[in-house]
Amino acid sequence: MTARLNVLIVDDDDLTAEIVSRSLKKSGIDFKVIHASDGQEGLEIMRGQSEKRIDQPFVTLLDLNMPRMNGFEFLQAVRADPGLSSAVIFVLSTSDSDSDLVRAYRDQIAGYLLKSAVGPQMIRLTTLLGDYAHSVRLPPLPH
């Protein structure tokens, strides 16, 4: 069982990141939240190449539609990196496209969540991550 779950939010929408962060903090579960504004920044954080640090264990909440490096490019880079390939990534997107859903699962995501379906207060997302934190053991990523 994980005592603390760290969450990396990779999303260019600052408002979504703020809502998710506030919702997780209000849940009473011990979450530490780090925000990356695009896939490139997210990779730098995961690789330890940023001033922002994320401690293990962590999960990533990934938006698909972002500038500079989109979610699919991020997924491909993570899965191709031996030090990151086992990272746990959930997609949190506005895209309801079946092709996006299938493509994301091909890149071994842990789950695909629609922003509209998790609610404006992100209650379903908070519940999911809380249950996940208390039920699943995550291995450390190799260095």
Domain presence at residue 142: no
Domain presence at residue 29: yes
Average pLDDT of every residue of the chain: 88
If one compares 79 and 115, the residue with the highest pLDDT of the two is 79
121 pLDDT tier (thresholds 50, 70, 90): low
Bond into 57 cis (ω within 30)? yes
Length of the chain: 143
What pLDDT was estimated at residue 45?
97
Ramachandran angles phi, psi of 31, nearest 5°: -115, 140
Domain presence at residue 77: yes
Distance of alpha carbon 85 from alpha carbon 141, whole angstroms: 8
Domain presence at residue 141: no
Domain presence at residue 105: yes
pLDDT tens digit sequence for 36-53: 999 999 999 999 999 999
Q: What percent of the chain has pLDDT over 70?
A: 93
Domain presence at residue 143: no
Q: How many domains does the chain have?
A: 1
Domain presence at residue 122: yes
Distance of alpha carbon 118 from alpha carbon 136, whole angstroms: 21
Domain presence at residue 50: yes
Q: CATH no. for residue 95?
A: 3.40.50.2300
